[in-house]
Amino acid sequence: MNSITADRRHFEDLVVGETVNLGSVKVTREMILSFAREFDPLPFHLDEAAAKRSLLGGLASSGWQTAALTLRLLGDGFLNKIAAAGGLGFSDLKWKKPVMKGDTIWATATVAELRRSRHHPQWGIVGIDLAVRNQRGQPVMTMRLANLVEARDPETGMQAQLVQPYDVEQGGGQ
Amino acid sequence: MTRWFEDVTIDEPFPLGSHTFTEAEILAFGREYDPQYFHVDPAAASQSHFGGVVASGWHTVLVGHRKMVDALDAEEVRLRDLGQEPGVSGPSPGVNRMEFKSPVRPGDTVTYMLTVTSKRPSNSIPGWGLLFNSLDAVNQRGETVYHAELVGFSKLRDFKMPRRLAMLQALTKVPVLGKLLGQRS
């Protein structure tokens, strides 16, 4: 028994269609520069003058920074409230609009898919649709995440194997 | 890509280098971006199925991105030293697929490799081409850490803008007119 996740919501407690408001974060100039220095040192994320001359027309955050800030909102608002057991990855990450200095981004997470793991009856897989918008309500990023969640009852998972032959399992999560 | 669209070769692996993940940086990244107990708390992490602290998958991906930026930068310098003009890359529209395959533990060394698997001229942005890239991260035991399918833009060297398009583009630079034209498109 895992004492950290024992009292959290488990796989059986999740419902497809459930939407969680993850809150917002303001992206400051200092945040853009410090993230870019560490992970994405391109001129239009590092240098305001170069950014003004670029296609983006001003200092914009790295798309990966938008993703990392959203991940933090997702952790605080959802993953740390369920018996999450690691990420399997994501698909269809689309950067729709640059996030400019001073923008506030806010995110929602929607439970889009629930299925039992075929090889690991102790886990289920939750598909989460993330939608991120700026303060004007314009979409800036969307993606579908896949995450492992502990199941309360591994036995149900054993039976589920028989009725879900299409379930493709990937790795052990990160 | 620092190569012109026409010069990009398909299925030729381009090494991006390696990175060793220390426990301190795994915990620091977890605290800032992914504060789940198996990324931030070694004692609590021992209760998880990982059996100890592991790096956030996103941490391994962001380090991979950094390695790619640095490697392409170095390639640009190399091309200039050969007297060639490097190509121009554009902002990425997204990631089609990212699969986290095995966790990264403190002390693990991850090696990153980029491969362009296909390319085609962009339908929507004249003068640019789309590159479909695979990024593979492998640990010191040869196990795949993650596999990613990314999309990127690269400029065409030999592109000549059709006259009608060039005129339209020049007109959009006129402030008021540009706004009107922008609204129409």
Does A170 touch chain B if contact means CB atoms closer than 8 Å? yes
Strands (E) in B64-108, as ranges, are 89-100
Quick one: pLDDT at residue A172?
59
| Per-residue pLDDT at A168 | 42
Give B165 to chain A, closest Cα distance, Å: 18
The residue of chain B nearest to residue A170, with distances taken between CA atoms, is B101
Q: Does the pTM of the predicted model rise above 0.90?
A: no
Please check whether residue A10 touches B, CB under 8 A: no
CATH entry 3.10.129.10 includes domain A11-28+63-163 = yes
pLDDT for residue B181: 55
Q: Which residues contact B83 (CB under 8 A, 6 or more apart)?
A: none
What chain A residue is nearest to B147 in terms of C-alpha separation?
A: A89
pLDDT more than 90, % of chain B: 77
CB of A93 within 8 Å of a chain B CB? The answer is: yes
Q: Please tell me the distance in Å from A17's CA to the nearest CA on chain B.
A: 23
Summarised one tens digit per residue, pLDDT across range B61-74 is: 999 999 999 999 99
Structure tokens belonging to residue A35: 């993230």
- List residues in chain B touching A: CB distance below 8 A: 32-38, 44, 47-50, 54-58, 60-63, 65-66, 69-70, 90-104, 146
Minimal CA separation from A5 to chain B, in Å: 9
Looking at residue B178, its pLDDT comes to 56
User: Where along chain A do its domains lie?
Assistant: 11-28+63-163
Is the CB of A71 less than 8 angstroms away from the CB of B58? yes
B96 contacts B149 by C-beta, under 8 angstroms: yes
Please give the interface size between A and B, counted as residue pairs whose CB atoms are below 8 Å apart.
117
Average of per-residue pLDDT across B45-69? 97
User: Across A30-39, B82-91, B152-161, which has the greatest mean pLDDT?
Assistant: A30-39
pLDDT at position B39: 98
pLDDT at position A167: 42
DSSP letter assigned to residue A12:
G
**Which among B37, B49, B100 is the nearest to A87, CB-wise?**
B100
| Spatial contact of B54 and B39, defined as CB atoms under 8 Å apart | yes
How far B80 CA lies from chain A's nearest CA (Å)?
Answer: 18
Q: Please tell me the CATH code under which domain B5-157 is placed.
A: 3.10.129.10
Domain-wise residue ranges, chain B: 5-157
Q: Which residue type is seen at A7?
A: D
- Output the pLDDT for position A92: 97
Return the pLDDT at A164.
Answer: 41
Closest CA–CA distance from residue A19 to any residue of chain B (Å): 20
Enumerate the residues of chain A whose CB falls inside 8 A of the CB of residue B179. none
pLDDT of residue B139 exceeding 50 = yes
Spell out where B43-181 has E strands. Answer: 89-100, 109-121, 128-139, 144-155
Question: Is A149:A125 a contact under the CB 8 Å cutoff?
Answer: yes
Instruction: Specify whether the CB–CB gap between A128 and B130 falls below 8 A.
Output: no
| Segments of chain A with pLDDT less than 50 | 160-170
> Tokens 């669209």 identify what position?
B5
Nearest CA in chain A to B104: A174
